Structure formats: C-alpha cells, structure tokens
Amino acid sequence: MEQNLFAALQSAATVRDRTLATTPDGRSVTSVEMFSMARRCARVLVELGVRPGDRVAAQIDKSLEAIALYLGTVAAGGVFLPLNTAYTRQEVAFFVGDAEPRVLVATPVRSEELVPVASEEEAHFETLGAQRDGTLAQRLVEAEDGFEPIAREGDDLAAILYTSGTTGRSKGAMLTHANLLSNARALVDYWHFTGDDVLLHALPIFHTHGLFVATNTSMLSGGSMLFHPGFDPSQVLADLPRATAMMGVPTFYTRLLARPELTRELVAHVRLFVSGSAPLSAEVHREFEERTGHAILERYGMTETNMITSNPYDGERRSGTVGFPLPGVEVRIAEPETGRVLDVGEIGVIEVRGPNVFQGYWRLPEKTEEEFRDDGWFVTGDLGVIDERGYVSIVGREKDLIISGGFNVYPAEVEALIDAIPGVAESAVVGLPHPDFGEGVTAFVALKPGVSLGEADIEEAVAGDLARFKQPKRIFLVRALPRNAMGKIQKAELRETHSGAFVP
C-alpha cells in the first residue's frame, strides 16, 4: 500500500477532476488545479534550497494557497511546520530557533517583525497572503508544473506540530507519512467518507484537527470542501444546505444553537456532524439532537497521535464518551505511576499504541523516552476509563487532577453536574491552593443569556450528587471561559489568575 502521503492524496483526489474546495467569496479550485499548484510550490521550495527532511515553517492565514504549501512541502520531501497565527514574534522565534527551518513563510503584514527572525536562523523568508498576495504567491504564478515529487517512505517525517506548551516549553511532535496516512484511511472508512461528500471546513489549519483530520480525510476520499476562512455562524448556516458533513469544536455547535435558523430542514442534506479538540457538554449534545435530529459524533485525538477513538457512525453515540478505539489502534487504561493495566471501570491514564502514534519529540530524546512505556505504549497524560461496553470516557488531564484533603477529584465529574443545571452554559473546575486541604475545588461557571443564578443555587444543585470533598469550595460566575484557538478551556490561566482565592 502506498506510504507516500503526497502520492496517496494526489492519486485519490484526482481520480476525477471535480471541485476540491470552494470559498465563501465564490473562488474554487478543482483537484487537478490544487495538485498542480502543489507541485509548482514544491518546485519553488526546492529552488529555495529545501532538501528531503528540511523543515518549512508557515505562519499564514487559511487559504487555498496555504493547503498547496502544505502539500508542496511534502511533495518536495520536506517537513511541514504549521504555526498558530496568534503566536507573537517571540514565540515564532522560539519555534524557528528550535526547528531550524530552511524556509519561513508568513503573512505579508508580519514581514517587518519576522524577517529578522528568519535571518538570525539563516532561513529563507517568503510571504503568502489570503488574497493570493505575497512573494510566494508570485513565485507560484511564475513556476512551471511538471515537478516530480520526491520519493519518501512511510517512516520519513511529513510534519512537526508543536504542542501548546501550557506546562513548560512547547515540544515538536514528529509525524511521519505513515502516521498521517494510516489515520486518514481509518477515518475515511470509519466515518463513511466517499467522493460524493462535501465537507464544511471552518477550522484553522495550523492544528491536527483542521489540517490532517479534515483536509486529509476529505482529499483521501476524493470529496470536496466548502472552505471557510474561519467560523462565521452566518456563513456556516448559509452553506450547511450544500454540505454532507461538518467537523467542528464544541463552541461551533454552541454558537449554532444560539441561532434560530438552525433547524432540521436546514441540515436535512447533512449526514454527519463531528466534534473534537475539547469536551462536548451533554447539554449541547442533547439540545443539538433535539433541534436537528443529528447526534453529534464525538471523537478523541492528540497532536502526538492524530485520532485515537471515535463514537460509532452506526450505533449509539454516547454523550460523555469518545467512543471506541479506531481500527488498528489499541487503547488501555493504566496506573500512572507503575503502568499496571487497570480493569474495566477503573480510572487511570490513557495509553495508546498503533500506526498513528508519532515518532517522538523533536530533539528531545529524554522527553520522548519518558512518554513511552518500555513495551512501546504512548502515555497520553489524559485520565480516562473504559466501561463494560468498551466506550472510552475522558475524565481530565492528569495535571488537572485535584487532590483535596487527600482525596482525588476528577474535574469532569463535577463539570458534568454543573453543566446539567438549567441555565448554565458551561463550566470549568480546577484545584486552587488551599491552606487546609492542599487544593480547594473551584468552579468557574458561565450562564446562558438572561439567566440569573447565584453561587448558592449552584451549590445546592450539585450537593445531593457529590461527596462533600468533591463539592466546590468556591464558585466564580464569569461571562465566558478562556479558550485557545481550538476551543479548549485554558485551565492553567484560571489557576494562575485565581491562585489566591483561598489565601486568608
């Protein structure tokens, strides 16, 4: 079976020359045009000095040309390094210094601040804008097609994605051609994608979810995309009648539910809604199904592993779970300290093994060794449990576990009860330094518009369902919870800004 990512995607996507992607402003490219652009991009990169294994870093806005740069990098034998568009100059400087890319591509407006960054690391600097502007865009226009993609094997690197770095320095997860292809193939099959599918793509493409899960799956199935620059509820609602599938983060679905236009009739043509990157609340799952007739399919993945589990396409999509291990992927629950495999129903750290699991952290061999068991299983750092039916549930990050008075408190259990209170939009539970208990269970709660609830109301609502040591000792009512670009609640920020909540 083909193990070269570019060759596999090109072969599948160009079986028939159909529209590969359409943007809200009416621009579209066919599959043949996209891969022609990618080959021209590969030629440009090689002319700029990119050799097999060289990194190409990109901090650029979402566009069709950005996809061509990703594909072109792989075709040139390079390693694609997408960077969050929100990263500051200092953050970009760290990634460039660590990865030492041959080429750094940025939006034209960032030229003045990032040219010195590229120069310091002897990287060639190019610009690429969302409106087909910039030096690289011009080079693509002038370049000739006919480039013969560089031969690469399954074990060769295709991408490096840096983790968010909420605790300590960011780490570059090394992903191979085989890692990305095996996962895309599994998802095409598990989620029933075909060449007739039209995926509504409103995710950012500097992240596993938008770049690999959405884009690779769509191209490998020979389907097409409604390619949105970002999530705009009005644009998404306007395009949903043309879509057969949509992938999003929980905030997408929350914002859609706030719009009266979201009806069963509007989404009658859609066969699949997928959610990931952050936990989907039971309330949103229930309300979305009531409004649309669709049970959102929740799945679980990581930067280091791509997708690990998924609720079934056919079968019960159980709210509060992330389903079963994908075909070819193994999952087990283990005791964090010892690695002892735990029984059904026991909470422990989730460990995974399979062709989707990354090759390690870039230039961090000791850290890589720490994160793998001796028998090759990757320790995710997520705490979870597998029930008697085989469904996997996430109860929180190991670092988010609260130890209050010597007892373990899993935030997800408390959050689920708070989220179920009528009028609550969402919640986040963390442990804050406490003089008596070590950590005090603390809840941050955002209410739905027009709802009036007090701290005492929330305390009373959960008191009957939680042991006293699990009950929040402080409740903060907030307008909104802090999130990153992928919709994940930033608990580290909550812990930092409220660290003195229990200080006398």
Which contiguous run of DSSP H or E holds residue 118?
helix 111-120
The upper half-sphere exposure of residue 36, i.e. CA atoms within 13 Å in the direction of its Cβ, equals 12
The CA–CA distances, whole Å, from 212 to 23, 125, 177, 305 equal: 19, 25, 11, 11
- Please indicate, yes or no, if residue 198 is contained in any of the structural domains: no
Taking the C-alpha atoms of residue 155 and residue 137, their distance in angstroms, rounded to an integer, is 31
pLDDT for residue 486: 73
Per DSSP, 489 falls in state B
Stated pTM of the model: 0.87
Q: Please, which residues have CB within 8 angstroms of residue 199's CB and are 6 or more apart in sequence?
A: 214, 217, 218, 223, 224, 225, 226, 243, 244, 245, 246, 247
CATH of the domain at 377: 3.40.50.12780
Same domain (yes/no): 476, 336: no
Taking the C-alpha atoms of residue 146 and residue 149, their distance in angstroms, rounded to an integer, is 9
Q: How many domains is the chain built from?
A: 3
Taking the C-alpha atoms of residue 116 and residue 110, their distance in angstroms, rounded to an integer, is 11
pLDDT bucket at 39, cuts 50 / 70 / 90: very high
Helix (H, G, I), strand (E, B) or coil at 177: helix
Same domain (yes/no): 370, 493: no
Closest CA to 75 of 101, 48, 41: 41
Same domain (yes/no): 370, 447: no
Task: Report residue 156 CA to chain centroid gap.
Answer: 22
Full residue range of the structural domain in which residue 386 is found? 231-397
Q: Is 423 left (phi over 0), alpha (psi -120 to 50) or beta?
A: left
pLDDT tens digits for range 10-28: 999 999 889 999 999 999 9
Tokens of 225: 């995309």
Tokens of 409: 């408190």
Same domain (yes/no): 166, 25: yes
pLDDT for residue 168: 53
pLDDT tens digits for range 138-181: 999 999 999 999 999 999 999 999 986 444 578 999 999 999 99
- Considering 354, 381, 397, which residue would you say is the last residue of a domain? 397
- Please indicate, yes or no, if residue 214 is contained in any of the structural domains: no
pLDDT tens digits for range 219-241: 999 999 999 999 999 999 999 99
